[in-house]
């Protein structure tokens, strides 16, 4: 039953190598002791509820009377695609995600390029860029409500240059773009920091070689920087997409899903369906769909944006 240890160079590696049955067991026990509480927490608070959600999605009941459950099979899932409101909400959420990703990626990339240069007070500027990311979504949504209201700061500024008052939060054509802009503003810092990390890990030898070969700055950017950043881009696109799919606070605080459901994001719809409309079974089915969509989009993005480069 003894475990044969492979020779591992280095003092640190040796320390954790399984030197014998007793040592290996000790290490396993130590690992289990450290990981155990957190695995238990993850099972109780993440995977357990996930399984419950899957189960609930096959039932019809209310939160107040959960004991009076009726098994409805796949009815809740069928309803998702026959209920116009839910389909609209799904489309709006996808539009929001696409809009946020399309705007965030180039802006974050350019900002990261800018911050990667030798700037005075670079740390301060980076902090300023990252600050919205760590600000509560509720605070951000409230702040932007004040900015975008009919009597808000932005309309006042527009008025001072002779532009008429804009219904940013009450117009069917402007409310969703307004939320996209807000989300981009909030997530730009995260994407920028990720890109900055990517830029700083680029091998300088390649740039030097290209410079010696006579490549212009534009060519170096086009043929070296962008391809080598594709791995970071995959990460940024996935992170930002998943974040946008989970958008809740702007709809909850700024618009209530109005006007005419044009800002009724999927997570807000789930909240409304479960708690206000008292249909947690249906809400669970929509949640499951959202999970599948998030996973599918992430997998497709990772496949499409798969890097052909390594360094």
| Binding footprint of other proteins on the chain (CB under 8 A) | 22-23, 26, 29-30, 33-34, 36-37, 40-41, 62-67, 85, 149-151, 159, 165, 167, 169-172, 256-261, 272, 275-278
Whole-number minimum distance, CB 171 to other proteins, in Å? 8
Q: Which is nearer to other proteins, 23 or 220 (CB)?
A: 23
In the chain, alpha helices (H): 11-16, 21-42, 48-56, 75-82, 84-116, 122-134, 137-148, 153-160, 175-200, 204-212, 217-220, 226-228, 230-245, 249, 266-271, 280-304
Q: Which is nearer to other proteins, 40 or 296 (CB)?
A: 40
Q: Which is nearer to other proteins, 33 or 121 (CB)?
A: 33
In the DSSP assignment, the letter for residue 164 is: P
Whole-number minimum distance, CB 33 to other proteins, in Å? 4
Whole-number minimum distance, CB 64 to other proteins, in Å? 5
Radius of gyration of the chain (CA): 25
Question: Is 171 in a helix, a strand, or coil?
Answer: coil
For 29-97, the DSSP string reads HHHHHHHHHHHHHHIIIIIHHHHHHHHHTTEE--SS-TTS-EE-TTHHHHHHHH-HHHHHHHHHHHHHH
Q: Which is nearer to other proteins, 22 or 227 (CB)?
A: 22
Please provide the distance, in angstroms rounded to a whole number, between the alpha carbons at the two ends of the chain.
42
Q: Which is nearer to other proteins, 62 or 246 (CB)?
A: 62
Whole-number minimum distance, CB 151 to other proteins, in Å? 6
Nearest to 212, CA basis, from 187, 204, 226: 204
Distances (CA, A) of 69 to 55, 56, 66, 77, 133: 11, 9, 6, 17, 41
Whole-number minimum distance, CB 272 to other proteins, in Å? 7
Whole-number minimum distance, CB 241 to other proteins, in Å? 28
Whole-number minimum distance, CB 29 to other proteins, in Å? 5
Which residue matches tokens 């206000």?
Answer: 276
Whole-number minimum distance, CB 61 to other proteins, in Å? 10
For residues 189 and 223, what is the distance between their CA atoms, to the nearest angstrom? 26
Q: Which is nearer to other proteins, 170 or 230 (CB)?
A: 170
Q: Which is nearer to other proteins, 193 or 274 (CB)?
A: 274
For residues 183 and 101, what is the distance between their CA atoms, to the nearest angstrom? 10
Distances (CA, A) of 147 to 64, 107, 135, 153, 249: 38, 22, 16, 5, 16
Q: Which is nearer to other proteins, 99 or 152 (CB)?
A: 152
């Amino acid at each position: 039953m003894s475990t044969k240890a492979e020779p591992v160079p280095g003092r640190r590696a040796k320390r954790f190598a399984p030197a014998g049955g007793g040592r290996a067991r000790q290490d396993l026990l130590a690992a289990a002791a450290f990981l155990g509480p957190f695995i238990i927490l993850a099972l109780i608070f993440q995977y357990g509820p996930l399984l419950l959600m899957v189960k609930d999605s096959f039932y019809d009941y209310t939160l107040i009377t959960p004991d009076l459950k009726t098994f409805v099979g796949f009815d809740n899932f069928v309803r998702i695609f026959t209920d116009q409101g839910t389909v609209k909400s799904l489309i709006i959420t996808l539009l929001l995600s696409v809009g946020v990703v399309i705007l965030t990626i180039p802006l974050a990339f350019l900002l990261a390029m800018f911050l990667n240069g030798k700037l005075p007070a670079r740390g301060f500027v980076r902090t300023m860029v990252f600050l919205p990311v760590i600000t509560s979504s509720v605070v951000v949504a409230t702040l932007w409500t004040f900015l975008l209201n009919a009597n808000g700061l932005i309309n006042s500024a527009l008025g001072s240059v002779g532009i008429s008052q804009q219904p940013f939060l009450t117009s069917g054509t402007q409310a969703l773009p307004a939320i996209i802009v807000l989300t981009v503003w909030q997530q730009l810092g995260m994407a920028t920091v990720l890109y900055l990390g990517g830029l700083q890990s680029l091998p300088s030898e390649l740039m030097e070689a290209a410079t010696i070969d006579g490549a212009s700055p534009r060519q170096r950017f086009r043929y070296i920087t962008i391809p080598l950043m594709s791995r970071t881009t995959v990460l940024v696109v996935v992170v930002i997409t998943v974040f946008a799919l989970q958008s809740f606070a702007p709809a909850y605080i700024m618009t209530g899903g109005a006007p005419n459901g044009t800002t009724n994001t999927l997570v807000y719809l789930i909240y409304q369906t479960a708690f206000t409309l008292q249909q947690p079974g249906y809400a669970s089915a929509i949640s499951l769909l959202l999970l599948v969509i998030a996973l599918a989009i992430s997998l497709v993005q990772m496949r499409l944006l798969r890097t052909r480069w390594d360094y």
